[in-house]
Structure 1
């Protein structure tokens, strides 16, 4: 009960702080329904790109999405694109995302996820102190095997 209440309050707080949402771009080379799956995206401290990711802090991400098919499991695919080279985002790439998926009422999602229903993906990640001060394009996707379920691109600056 406490976890559900905490999640709901944390989500409301994030939504109030980030009411306008984060501006992002669709991913290229994916099916159009993948780009249409995301209905809103908020990244803490980022109303407009480039998102400033401060080293030594934690960044919060809230994505609302509607899958176009039933989903059995989700993993992250998170890359920092530098000079057109995708570099895995340490600690966030290839991580089980299933534990971070919630229903619209704040409860942990039951699996499989059902096509056409709205879900919330909440994540937080450390911006490590050893990250270089660069300006990557962040490519963030939720994948099931080799199939992309959601995907977005956002310009960032690690400071």
Structure 2
């Protein structure tokens, strides 16, 4: 038991950014209303200021959510919003969630997603060099590809940097 506590304590000291969550906002509120029913962890981004997304690097994200309805399949809708213009994020928009889905205890899970169950979705985005350096709000939703019903949705202020 002592060994497990020591190991966990060491992880918390060595990798604190893994444990901290990111402040995210309800979709469509222009970063005014904090979203509380979903836990989002964006690697190295824990503050209420803009997340720094470095070009030519990979950003890891983890979304813990509870579905309010059954869904056979689940896809992402991910884009940046700059000057009120949506900019698709290549390689992650309109992508199946089912291969990156886990139960709360870390067990690998596949679709369907069941009403009332809590899941953890893990993914990554490669921030390509072609993205200009600018401020952007990241819109991220998980939704049914057929009905387009949204299971969860959040927005996070970010900036693309070198």
The TM-score range, normalised by the shorter chain, is 0.7 to 0.9
Alignment gaps of 5+ in structure 1: 1-11, 30-34
Matches within 5 A, 1:38-57: 38=38, 40-48=39-47, 49-57=49-57
Per the alignment, in what secondary structure is the counterpart of residue 99 of structure 1? helix
The 2-side partners of 1:61 and 1:101 are apart by: 12
The 1-side partners of 2:58 and 2:134 are apart by: 17
The 2-side partners of 1:36 and 1:133 are apart by: 29
CA 1:36/1:21 → structure 2, altered by over 3 Å: closer, same or farther? closer
Matches within 5 A, 1:1-159: 16-28=16-28, 38=38, 40-48=39-47, 49-145=49-145, 146-159=148-161
**1:36 Cα deviation from its structure 2 partner:** 6.4
Q: Is the 8 A contact 1:61 1:124 kept in 2?
A: yes
Q: Is the 8 A contact 2:75 2:142 kept in 1?
A: yes
Per the alignment, in what secondary structure is the counterpart of residue 47 of structure 1? coil
Alignment gaps of 5+ in structure 2: 1-10, 30-34
Q: Is the 8 A contact 1:59 1:125 kept in 2?
A: yes
TM-score (norm 2): 0.80
* Root-mean-square deviation (Å): 2.2
Deviations along 1:29-64, whole A, 9 cap, x unmatched? 8xxxxx6652x1100010113000000111100110
Superposition misfits of 4+ residues, deviation over 4 angstroms: none
Specify the structure having the higher radius of gyration (Cα). 2
